């Protein structure tokens, strides 16, 4: 017997290994196994298939060991991986690397660290102890090092046992080390045996009213004296809230041996103990829409829900998820960004409680493994809220997929491969499970709206906001004119400052949106016009004020700011461009009283970053929220009456066929944040080009007209949805080699694809991390077979890469690039 194994190496074919007779019953499709690879390496991989056919090209090696008793990857997943590899032109190994959380992905370079809290419950085997002893002397070690030191040829299975015992843990980023989450609980001290003992303690506390109050509250919350004497306990957190006290009196009670504190392990995934809320009854319009959605589902069509901001799309989702769960099926709710999960999480938690699992990249790896295993064993989660990588989870009985904000480009993975689009993978996955799909948005992507127009999707519309609040009034301000009159104060036109003053006087909140692209602050020399650039990439360095550093946003290169110009030596560097920090500073000058929060990449790096900013704004602790793209995303605030778009020009002038689509979406979305409850909001849109057609579509909120204009252009210039694009990026550390290989590849491709091949061209940024880039674009007819064109394209690439002089050139394909 043989097994084809997916290994985490970027080679196009699967490797066949022999199944030794003693492992015959253990090797199953979807299990992880350990094999040797190349001369000395050992790798763990996933069994893709079993068969009897020995490969002709090479002699097989045996599988060394099997890591799992039961598959950790389902056959549905393997099928989906294959589809992704075929469609997005990458290898199964690359899909495997993207799909599995690193805790499930042992590789010889994987770092293993000791869990210092571990206490063995039953004796460890000699080998287990040996590895633990070795690890406890060090911070961390790779599996390869463990092999070397212990003399074990293959330590994977033992490491895996230790992982399961939680004696060690795996992490790419060890500093975020995994520990079981523990919480303090309180009970009466065991020295208190009866009511008499208790009375003595009360007397002891006569002069300490706060402590007495805490003790009384404890007795009440733990179910009365009797149950407290029997060892009843409550979480310390609960006592703190219920008694409205600080930690000090509780600490005193513990010191006086009246209360006792112990640590309990709680699930890392939040427990939800509150009572669940019922679904909200729907309005007539919402009900009609819900029924139309269901009609679409009955016809087995994906549904596009085009609902204006605040029309109640999320309420509809909740009804649909509830239906799916009642039918015994799982639901997947995809969101484009972590920024959004906070608000949606609490809304979904309130309805689905413990049935809700959450999967996103700000979670630690251990938490992700927990969600994975929970689903695999069909053990509790019935709805999962996640970002794009959640499409890789092992669902067993998926009945519904919701893709919220379906137009968002962050559903697409850009680097590394697989360069997949989670919305499109979701549609394939739904077919696999015979599940329903709902795409929801206030600003559909041109592609999805086209599919709805041509009948592939069913279109359902919600055209009014819940409770009939009007869409905001959009005021367009001509900044060119204001500049000429010299009435601009920095980035602020008089109209915007005035609107802000009114809103702030009324104690209403303001959101200011500053597009990030092209507006990162950089230094320029006023003498020689030199702009400090990254030594590894073809981009200027961005100035970070709080660090006083220059940072490359492509590779992370960091250097302290220069005081003199590195080119001409004059102390004449000045800050140019503006980012959200600059906006924040100007507001502070214009409105010194206002409390300003900033939401951008810098302020949201930590796991709680978004949450803190969003909740302080929600609670009214802040008056103005300044942000990049992040503030445009479906956030829902009650007190925002004004939205300012500081500069619409940057987005519109992007040389990309999607620039207008993105600009429309961004402006319409951020406008949707204004005036959600109580009152009609205002949007002030600053631009130097007020006659621009896109500005006009936004102003009139006329998506249909915007779509019509766009779709005509797309057809005329052969762009999606009429054509399928593929980008091939050629990379090499030498610019000449890159160029020659790109030209040769272009010619090779033209032999097969003719005029469908465009380029090579230098992309706008043509050097990243010391590699020079060129790009070839292919425009394929929609009807052309993907598999066949992939094969032909790959042949051309192989022809080029097989030449000695281009051996180290890399070519990466991006299908349906965004
Ligand atoms: P969308 O997802 O379309 O932006 P939401 O579902 O967030 O809209 O709804 C906007 C606001 O209106 C939310 O605060 C929501 O709770 C409220 N809302 C929407 N529909 C209803 C309803 N049927 N009953 C009560 N409140 C509703
Ligand atoms: Zn760089």
260 and 127 in one domain? no
Return the C-alpha torsion angle 390, 391, 397, 398, nearest 10.
Answer: 100
What per-residue confidence (pLDDT) applies to 274?
A: 52
Asked, for residue 272, whether it belongs to a domain, the answer is no
Token pair for 235: 């979480």
Ligand nearest to the CA of 554: 2
Q: Which DSSP state fits 22?
A: G
Single residue among 145, 175, 205 that ends a domain in this structure: 175
Which residues, in sequence order, are CB contacts of 11 under 8 Å at separation 6+? 91, 93
User: Strand 509-513 relative to strand 624-627: parallel, antiparallel, unpaired?
Assistant: parallel
Token pair for 178: 């995994």
User: Strand 771-781 relative to strand 723-732: parallel, antiparallel, unpaired?
Assistant: antiparallel
If you measure from the C-alpha of residue 541 to the centroid of ligand 2, how many angstroms do you get, rounded to a whole number? 8
Residue 807 sits in a domain of what CATH number?
A: 3.30.70.600
The whole-angstrom separation of Cα 165 and Cα 121 is 9
Asked, for residue 464, whether it belongs to a domain, the answer is no
What per-residue confidence (pLDDT) applies to 585?
A: 84
User: Is 314 touching ligand 1 by the criterion CB < 6 Å?
Assistant: yes
Locate the ligand 1 atom nearest the alpha carbon of residue 634 and give its number. 4
Range of the domain at 100: 2-106
- The structure tokens 């080679």 sit at 11
User: pTM for this one?
Assistant: 0.78
502 and 432 in one domain? no
User: Is 107 touching ligand 1 by the criterion CB < 6 Å?
Assistant: no
Ligand nearest to the CA of 556: 2
626 and 504 in one domain? yes
Which of 288, 290, 311, 315 has most ligand 1 atoms within 8 Å of CB, for mutation? 315
Ligand nearest to the CA of 535: 2
Q: Does an H or E element contain 109, and which?
A: none
Asked, for residue 714, whether it belongs to a domain, the answer is no
771 and 737 in one domain? yes
Single residue among 175, 200, 228 that ends a domain in this structure: 175
If you measure from the C-alpha of residue 633 to the centroid of ligand 1, how many angstroms do you get, rounded to a whole number? 16
What per-residue confidence (pLDDT) applies to 362?
A: 66
Asked, for residue 408, whether it belongs to a domain, the answer is yes
User: Is 774 touching ligand 1 by the criterion CB < 6 Å?
Assistant: no
Total domain count for the chain? Answer: 7
Ligand nearest to the CA of 551: 2
Q: Which regions in the chain score pLDDT beneath 50?
A: 172-180, 268-269, 271-273, 517-519
Work out the number of other CB atoms within 10 angstroms of the CB of residue 326.
9
Asked, for residue 278, whether it belongs to a domain, the answer is no
Work out the number of other CB atoms within 10 angstroms of the CB of residue 518.
12
User: Is 636 touching ligand 1 by the criterion CB < 6 Å?
Assistant: yes
Q: Where are the beta strands (DSSP E) in 489-592?
A: 509-513, 522-525, 542-544, 549-551, 558-560, 573-576
Helix, strand or coil, per DSSP, at residue 594:
coil
Q: Is the dihedral of CA 246, 251, 253, 258 positive or negative?
A: positive
User: Is 305 touching ligand 1 by the criterion CB < 6 Å?
Assistant: no
787 and 736 in one domain? yes
260 and 122 in one domain? no
Asked, for residue 320, whether it belongs to a domain, the answer is yes
112 and 74 in one domain? no
347 φ/ψ sector (left φ>0, alpha ψ -120 to 50, else beta): alpha
User: Is 317 touching ligand 1 by the criterion CB < 6 Å?
Assistant: no
Residue 294 sits in a domain of what CATH number?
A: 3.40.50.300
- The structure tokens 């041109």 sit at 446
In 3D, which of 739, 801, 795, 725 has the Cα closest to residue 771?
Answer: 739
503 and 643 in one domain? yes
798 and 673 in one domain? no
If you measure from the C-alpha of residue 767 to the centroid of ligand 2, how many angstroms do you get, rounded to a whole number? 9
118 and 96 in one domain? no
Locate the ligand 1 atom nearest the alpha carbon of residue 307 and give its number. 3
Return the C-alpha torsion angle 729, 732, 738, 744, nearest 10.
Answer: -70
Q: Where are the beta strands (DSSP E) in 302-341?
A: 303-307, 330-334
Locate the ligand 1 atom nearest the alpha carbon of residue 316 and give its number. 6
Q: Whose CA is nearest to atom 25 of ligand 1?
A: 280
User: Is 669 touching ligand 1 by the criterion CB < 6 Å?
Assistant: no
Ligand nearest to the CA of 550: 2
589 and 448 in one domain? no
Instruction: Provide Rg for the chain, Cα atoms.
Output: 30
The whole-angstrom separation of Cα 457 and Cα 301 is 6
| Contact yes or no for 732/809 (Cβ under 8 A) | yes
User: Is 94 touching ligand 1 by the criterion CB < 6 Å?
Assistant: no
660 and 596 in one domain? yes
Mind giving me the DSSP string for 622-641? -SEEEESGGGGSS---SSEE
If you measure from the C-alpha of residue 296 to the centroid of ligand 1, how many angstroms do you get, rounded to a whole number? 22
Single residue among 57, 73, 106 that ends a domain in this structure: 106
User: Is 282 touching ligand 1 by the criterion CB < 6 Å?
Assistant: yes
Q: Whose CA is nearest to atom 15 of ligand 1?
A: 312
pLDDT digits (tens, 9 = 90+) for 333-390: 999 876 566 678 888 888 898 899 888 766 667 778 888 988 988 878 999 999 999 9
Asked, for residue 273, whether it belongs to a domain, the answer is no
Helices (H), 258-379: 284-298, 313-326, 338-352, 365-376
Asked, for residue 800, whether it belongs to a domain, the answer is yes
The whole-angstrom separation of Cα 131 and Cα 133 is 5
Q: What is the per-residue burial (b if ≥16 Cβ within 10 Å, else e) of 333-349?
A: bbbbbbbbbbbbbebbb
């Amino acid at each position: 017997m043989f097994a084809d194994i997916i290994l985490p190496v970027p080679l196009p074919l699967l490797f066949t290994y022999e199944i030794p007779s003693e492992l015959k019953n253990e090797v199953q499709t979807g299990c992880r196994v350990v094999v040797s690879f190349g001369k000395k390496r050992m790798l763990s991989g996933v069994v893709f298939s079993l068969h009897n056919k020995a490969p002709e090209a090479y002699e097989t090696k045996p599988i060394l060991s099997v890591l799992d008793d039961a598959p950790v990857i389902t056959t549905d997943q393997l099928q989906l991986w294959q589809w992704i590899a075929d469609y997005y032109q990458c290898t199964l190994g690359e899909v495997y690397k993207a799909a599995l959380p690193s805790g499930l992905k042992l590789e010889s370079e994987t770092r293993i660290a000791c869990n210092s809290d571990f206490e063995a419950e039953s004796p460890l085997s000699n080998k287990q102890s040996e590895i633990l002893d070795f690890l406890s002397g060090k911070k961390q070690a790779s599996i390869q090092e463990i092999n070397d030191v212990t003399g074990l040829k293959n330590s994977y299975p033992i490491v895996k046992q230790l992982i399961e015992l939680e004696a060690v843990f795996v992490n790419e980023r060890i500093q975020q080390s995994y520990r079981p989450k523990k919480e303090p609980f309180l009970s009466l001290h065991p020295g208190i045996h009866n009511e008499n003992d208790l009375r003595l303690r009360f007397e002891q506390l006569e002069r300490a009213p706060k402590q007495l109050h805490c003790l009384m509250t404890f007795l009440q919350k733990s179910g009365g004296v009797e149950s407290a004497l029997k060892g009843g306990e409550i979480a310390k957190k609960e006592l703190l809230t219920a008694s409205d006290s600080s930690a000090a009196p509780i600490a005193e009670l513990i010191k006086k041996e009246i209360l006792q504190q112990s640590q309990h392990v709680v699930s890392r995934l939040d427990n939800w103990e509150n009572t669940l809320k019922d679904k909200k009854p729907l309005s007539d319009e919402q009900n009609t829409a819900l029924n139309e959605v269901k009609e679409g589902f009955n016809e087995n069509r994906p549904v596009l829900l085009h609902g204006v901001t605040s029309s109640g799309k999320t309420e509809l989702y909740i009804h649909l998820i509830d239906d799916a769960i009642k039918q015994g099926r799982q639901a997947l709710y995809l969101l484009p960004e972590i920024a959004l999960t906070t608000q949606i999480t609490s809304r979904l938690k309130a309805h689905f409680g413990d049935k809700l699992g959450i999967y996103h990249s700000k979670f630690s790896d251990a938490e992700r493994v927990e969600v994975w295993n929970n689903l695999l064993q069909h053990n509790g989660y019935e709805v999962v809220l996640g970002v794009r990588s959640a499409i890789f989870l092992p669902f067993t009985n998926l009945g519904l997929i919701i893709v919220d904000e379906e137009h968002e480009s962050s559903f697409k993975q850009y680097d590394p491969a697989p360069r997949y689009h989670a919305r499109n993978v979701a549609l394939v996955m739904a077919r696999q499970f015979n599940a329903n799909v709902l795409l929801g948005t206030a600003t559909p992507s041109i592609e999805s709206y086209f599919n709805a127009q041509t009948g592939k999707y069913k279109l359902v519309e919600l055209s009014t906001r819940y409770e009939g609040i009007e869409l905001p009034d959009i005021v367009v301000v001509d900044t060119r004119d204001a500049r000429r009159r010299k009435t601009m104060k920095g980035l602020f036109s008089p109209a915007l400052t005035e609107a802000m003053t009114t809103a702030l006087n009324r104690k209403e909140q303001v959101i200011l949106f500053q597009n990030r692209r092209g507006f990162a602050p950089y230094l320029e020399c006023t003498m020689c016009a030199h702009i400090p650039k990254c030594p590894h990439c073809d981009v200027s360095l961005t100035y970070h004020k709080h660090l006083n550093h220059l940072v490359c946003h492509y590779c992370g290169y960091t250097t302290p700011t220069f005081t003199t110009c590195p080119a001409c030596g004059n102390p004449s560097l000045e800050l140019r461009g503006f980012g959200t920090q600059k906006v924040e500073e100007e507001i502070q000058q214009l409105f010194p009283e206002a409390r300003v929060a900033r939401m951008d990449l810098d302020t949201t790096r930590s796991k709680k970053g978004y949450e803190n900013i969003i909740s302080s704004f929600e609670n009214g602790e802040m008056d103005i929220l300044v942000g990049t793209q992040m503030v445009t995303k479906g956030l829902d605030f009650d007190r925002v009456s004004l939205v300012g778009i500081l500069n619409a020009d940057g987005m519109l002038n992007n040389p990309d066929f999607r620039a207008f689509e993105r600009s429309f979406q961004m402006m319409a979305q951020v406008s949707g944040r204004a005036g959600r409850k109580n009152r009609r909001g205002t949007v002030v849109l600053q631009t130097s080009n007020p006659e621009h057609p896109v500005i006009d579509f936004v102003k009139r909120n006329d998506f249909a007209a915007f779509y019509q204009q766009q779709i005509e252009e797309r057809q005329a210039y052969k762009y999606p949805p009429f054509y399928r694009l593929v980008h091939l990026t050629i990379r090499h550390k030498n610019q000449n080699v890159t160029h020659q290989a790109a030209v040769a590849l272009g010619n090779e491709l033209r032999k097969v694809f003719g005029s469908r091949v465009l380029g090579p061209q230098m992309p706008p940024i043509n050097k990243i991390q010391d590699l020079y880039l060129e790009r070839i674009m292919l425009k394929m007819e929609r009807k052309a077979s993907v598999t066949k064109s992939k094969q032909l394209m790959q042949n051309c690439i192989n022809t080029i890469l097989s030449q000695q002089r281009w051996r180290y050139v890399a070519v990466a394909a991006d299908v349906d690039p965004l």
